[in-house]
Chains A and B, each alone.
Chain A
Amino acid sequence: MNGILDFVAGLGRAVLDMVRMAGKVALFGAVALSHVVRPPFYWRTLWGSLVEIGYFSLPVVALTALFSGGVIALQSYTGFAQYHAQNAIAGIVILAVTRELGPVLAGLMVAGRVGAAMSAEIGTMRVTDQIDALTTLSTNPMKYLVTPRLVAGTLALPFLVLIADILGVLGGFTVCVMKLDFSASAYIAATIASLKVMDVTVGLVKAAIFGFLITLMGCYHGYHSRGGAEGVGAATTAAVVAASILLLTFDYLLTDVFFSQ
């Protein structure tokens, strides 16, 4: 009997901790967002974050999208060839890439690269008193460190996803034309016929939300890291794990909202 009670109590504690954490993160994000419309604005920090997220993530996102598009084409061919439905492959590739693979894979890549780096940078600033130093130098750390990164993440990820969409389709095209002997003009025509503005738009909306969530997790965990190098390491891991889980959860919720009917 005691064992069951302990289990239920443990479960209750875990749920309460999760709710408390969600509240703290929401408050943190709300405070950071409130600084978007209140001067002073740190344009240099914003530009630096845009370059770091949008430009330096390009190679990893591009390669991921290119190969994923190719894999989708190859796998679809393996299955569809049995039913002589190869003509549907171009449509499958563009649908998968614009609706799901583009935003999710780009998001996961950026979460691993940028979310971790952001958390480590802000975490190191926390444990070496640099964040306190900002306060003593008449600078609000949320406004200086967090807000520009959240804005940059929200703006840069749609740009990356747009590139990922193009390269994902190119990956599928390359595999189909070079390896599976599809007609290039027929593949392009089928791709254009299947291309829907709504799919691309929803993919970009997802990307903006993912970008916000990734940078929010990176900043939140870094900002609250404690205990030297070990604490910064733990914060970095927590930021990447939390961002990845949130990204997949929100992907489902957004897909349900936009495409369930």
Chain B
Amino acid sequence: MTEPTPKIRIRGLKKAFGPKVVLDGVDLDVMGGTSFVVIGGSGTGKSVLLRCILGLITPDAGSIEIDGVDVTTLTPRQREPYMARIGMLFQNGALFDSLSVWENVTFGLTAAARMGHGPRLTRAQSRTRAGELLEQVGMDPAVGALSPAELSGGMQKRVGLARAIAARPEILFFDEPTTGLDPIMGAVIDGLIADCVRKLGSTAIAITHDMASAQRIGDRVGMLYEGRLIWQGLPSTLFDSGNPVVDQFTHGRREGPIKVDVGK
């Protein structure tokens, strides 16, 4: 019997910025409908990995397959149908300051319609749809009339999540979804992410250095260290992985194989 094709398959992914090697041969398989969480310290290349998959950064070597198609070989125009199937929640929300909340939420829907990847909605229909999506992430639809600058950090993350799921994407990416939030709001966001991923049946990749968040979101967890995924396993084994690097990181120990440059 043949094994099912992973929704996302990464092989030998490399990226360096000048002399600094950030990704040094990352291999990763994420099966359809599952969530994979990448953990790792600051500056270990987690965001670079995500940006390579999204096509925001061109990798130096390696392949990134989505449904068996290597997207690194596609032109920007050929990539468009794949981008239309992807939703992304940025670390700080990345909401457009010049637009209202509801326009932010439906921005992707409007853009997809312009490209012929979805139905055209009137402004009234878009506003109604934005209200539904805001309710889905636990917000009052009336918030849609506000500007992003009037929202708290947690609310901006929720609006960012509503925008990411608006087009019912097959693949969702989350960049540090709980960074900068208090523990309760972090748990709320994690719960919403898990709910959205389950309801949509999406495949998700999240990057975080918040262990509680990794356990709440992920079906599987992997640790990125020195440019490679050095360990993968179940979230339940995160604090008892048997890998000294992972154990030092998850327990936050100063002593261990990871040497931190404290700038002395």
Binding site for B on A (CB under 8 A): 40, 121, 124-125, 128-130, 132-133, 135-140
List the B residue with the shortest CB-CB distance to A48.
Answer: B98
Q: Chain B residue with minimal CB distance to A140?
A: B76
| B interface residue numbers (CB < 8 A to A) | 51, 54-56, 76, 80, 83-84, 86-88, 90-92, 94-98, 107-108, 111-112, 114-115, 117, 163
With A and B bound together, what is the CA distance between A124 and B97 in angstroms? Answer: 10
Please list 16 pairs of residues, one from A and one from B, whose beta carbons are closer than 8 Å in the complex, sorted by A's number: A40-B115, A121-B98, A125-B96, A129-B90, A129-B91, A130-B94, A132-B54, A132-B90, A133-B96, A135-B56, A136-B54, A136-B56, A136-B87, A137-B108, A138-B111, A139-B111
CB neighbours (8 Å) of A137 from chain B are 107-108, 111, 163
Bound together, the chains give a CA A129 to CA B156 distance in angstroms of: 14
Q: Which residue of chain B has its CB nearest to the CB of A137?
A: B108
Give the distance to chain B from A74, nearest Cβ to Cβ, in Å: 43
Closest to A130 in B: B94
Cα distance A124–B149 in the bound complex, in angstroms:
13
With both chains docked as a complex, state the minimum distance between the C-beta of B242 and any C-beta of chain A, in angstroms.
36
A149 to B39, CA, bound (A): 40
B84 touches A138 (CB 8 A): yes
CB of B43, distance to nearest CB on chain A (Å): 15
How far is the CB of B23 from the nearest CB of chain A, in Å? 18
- What's the Cα separation between A130 and B97 when bound, in Å? 9
What total of A-B pairs shows CB separation below 8 Å? 51
CA distance A100 to B115 in the complex (A): 45
- Known contacts A132-B94, A133-B95, then 5 further A-B pairs from the complex at CB < 8 Å, ordered by chain A residue: A40-B114, A125-B96, A128-B92, A136-B86, A138-B111
Given A138-B83, A138-B108: A132 and B56 within 8 A (CB)? Answer: yes
Contact, CB under 8 Å: A135 / B54: yes
Q: Specify the chain B residue showing the minimal Cβ separation from A136.
A: B88
- CA A159 to CA B92, docked complex, whole Å: 40
Give the residues in chain A near B56, CB-CB below 8 Å: 132, 135-136
Complexed CA–CA distance, A71 and B135 (Å): 62
Q: A135-B55, A136-B54, A138-B111 in contact; A128/B94 too (CB < 8 A)?
A: yes
Docked CA distance A130–B94 (Å): 5
Asked if A138 and B90 sit within 8 Å, CB to CB, the answer is no
Q: How close is A9's CB to chain B, nearest CB, in angstroms?
A: 21
Which chain A positions have C-beta within 8 A of B163?
Answer: 137
Residues of A within 8 A of B90 (CB): 129, 132-133
Contacts of B83 in A (CB 8 A): 135-136, 138
List, in ascending order, chain B residues with CB within 8 A of A40's CB: 114-115
Query: Most chain-B CB neighbours within 10 Å: which of A129, A130, A132, A138?
Result: A138
Residue of A nearest to B116 (CB): A40
**Which chain A residues lie closer than 8 Å to B92 at the CB level?**
128-129
Q: How near does chain A come to B219, taking the closest CB pair, in angstroms?
A: 23
Q: How far is the CA of A40 from the CA of B92 in the complex (A)?
A: 28
Contacts of B97 in A (CB 8 A): 124-125, 130
* Nearest CB in chain B: distance from A42 CB, A: 9
Give the complex CA separation of A138 and B111 in angstroms. 6
Cβ contacts under 8 Å, A130 to chain B: 94-97
Chain A positions within 8 Å of B86 at CB level: 136
Please give the distance in Å from A81's CB to the nearest CB on chain B: 54
* Contact between chains at B111 and A133 (CB < 8 Å): no
Specify the chain B residue showing the minimal Cβ separation from A127. B92
**Which of chain A's residues have a CB closer than 8 A to the CB of B112?**
138
A90 to B: closest C-beta gap in Å: 46
Q: How far is the CA of A233 from the CA of B167 in the complex (A)?
A: 36
Contacts A132-B51, A132-B56, A133-B88 given; does A138 touch B94 at CB 8 Å: no
Give the chain A neighbours of B117 by CB distance below 8 A. Answer: 138
With both chains docked as a complex, state the minimum distance between the C-beta of A38 and any C-beta of chain B, in angstroms.
Answer: 11
Give Cα A136–Cα B87 distance, bound, in whole angstroms.
7
- Roughly how many angstroms separate A7 CA and B76 CA in the complex, as a whole number? 43
